[in-house]
Amino acid sequence: MTNPLDLFSANYFEAREKFRVAAARRRCELTAHLHPHAKGPNGEDLTIDVATSGPTRAAAGLLLISGTHGVEGYAGSACQIGWLNTVTNETWPPELRVVMIHALNPYGFAWNRRVTEDNVDLNRNFVSHNAPYPANDGYEQLKTAIAPKDLDPETLRQGSELFRDFIKEYGPFTMQEAVSKGQYAHPDGMYYGGTREQWSAGIVKHVVRRELAHCHRVGEIDFHTGLGPYGHGELISEEAAGTPAYERAKSWWPDICSTQSGDSVSAAVMGSIDSCLPGLLPRTDVTVGCLEFGTVSTFEVFMALRADNWLHTRGNPQGNEAASIKAQIRAAFYPDQDDWKEMVWKRGETVMAQAVQGLMARA
Ligand SMILES: [Zn+2]
């Protein structure tokens, strides 16, 4: 019997070590992709660690990704480690190929940031960088409130006024969409998708094509935190109801929500991994679920992200303000509390088991 509390780690480095030990115990093949230029807060090396197991020519593959959004990696890492620690032959059929990508954005995990070393939201980076980028008019209207020049009370008051007026005109969900769906024009802003492929994006594409392209069926779970009620794990699809991919996901996970029908805590976003996966595996039925665990209120999450964005783009990440801002963002994405950890593991375990069942039912 595993103790859920033991699955969680205090920081990226502990999480990486626990993951590698758990994967080695399961005799997984381990590959460490060393980050070519980003380092940890004390100059440490950073790696994306990939564990694979099961037949290389398997018909069915399961892909589990943690840390796409750096600081959100505490929960996903724990779910991956928990799964490695608890699976049996029954819950992990020998004919299933399993690929686990740990800390896809290791810089963000190590620094307790949601973004990459280039201030890029990795889950908005999977767009074509050779075509014009999609516009985000709402972000343009709100940009001085989203990424203010300083955190002085008067500047923040003006920002709040801007948000209030926007909500009055368009409603709160339109504001959430404007802020979070992604933008490609302001490198020092939030939810910035970047203007070139991020190193982490290249690695995940390489791993998926290398390890899973031969599969007839692939299930993917991408673990996130920061949206929804405390400890609740909402499964999110970016597919519209009625499409084969959505109906497949719904048959595995009956409570899945769709960003296309507006029943999800998340707005529809641009350039996500989930939207890119089917294109990487054109001969495969790909079934995707983003598992989003709630932490604190959306407003508190936003405040933490805004402060962190200011710290790294205009402030000094090693300066006096850093400690409190870093504690704020870590707590917003990782409530370091026993009941939250227990809820995350219970839900994560269920969702992973449902994915395995769904994959094997069609064998
Ligand atoms: Zn996320």
pLDDT, one tens digit per residue, over 292-314 is 999 999 999 999 999 999 999 99
CATH architecture label of 4-130+192-299+330-361: 3-Layer(aba) Sandwich (3.40)
Amino acid letter, residue 72: E
User: Under a CB-based contact definition with an 8 Å cutoff, are residues 265 and 224 in contact?
Assistant: no
Sheet holding 29-34, edge to edge: 29-34, 47-53, 96-102, 60-65, 217-230, 285-294, 233-237, 257-258
The model's pTM: 0.96
- Is 357 strand, coil or helix? helix
Q: How far is the CA of 266 from the centre of ligand 1 (A)?
A: 10
Q: Low-confidence residues of the chain, pLDDT below 70?
A: 1, 362-363
Which residues are bridge partners to 225 per DSSP? 293
Q: Strand (E) positions, 42-91?
A: 47-53, 60-65
Amino acid letter, residue 330: R
Q: What is the pLDDT of residue 362?
A: 62
**What residues pack around ion ligand 1 (CB closer than 5 A)?**
69, 72, 224
Q: How far is the CA of 226 from the centre of ligand 1 (A)?
A: 7
Q: How far is the CA of 334 from the centre of ligand 1 (A)?
A: 12
User: Under a CB-based contact definition with an 8 Å cutoff, are residues 66 and 104 in contact?
Assistant: yes
Q: How far is the CA of 231 from the centre of ligand 1 (A)?
A: 15
What is the residue extent of each domain of the chain?
Answer: 4-130+192-299+330-361, 137-180
Q: How far is the CA of 91 from the centre of ligand 1 (A)?
A: 27
DSSP 8-state secondary structure symbol assigned to residue 135: P
DSSP 8-state secondary structure symbol assigned to residue 353: H
d(CA 300, CA 330): 12
Q: Radius of gyration (Cα) for the chain, nearest Å?
A: 20
In what helix (H) or strand (E) does residue 205 lie, and over which residues does it extend?
Answer: helix 199-212
Compute the C-alpha angle 204/205/209, nearest 5°: 115
DSSP 8-state secondary structure symbol assigned to residue 72: G
d(CA 173, CA 170): 8
Torsion of CA 107, 113, 119, 124, to 10 degrees: 100
133: Cβ contacts below 8 Å, ≥ 6 apart: 127, 184, 185, 193, 195
Q: How far is the CA of 224 from the centre of ligand 1 (A)?
A: 4
Q: How far is the CA of 257 from the centre of ligand 1 (A)?
A: 16
DSSP 8-state secondary structure symbol assigned to residue 31: E
Q: What is the pLDDT of residue 262?
A: 74
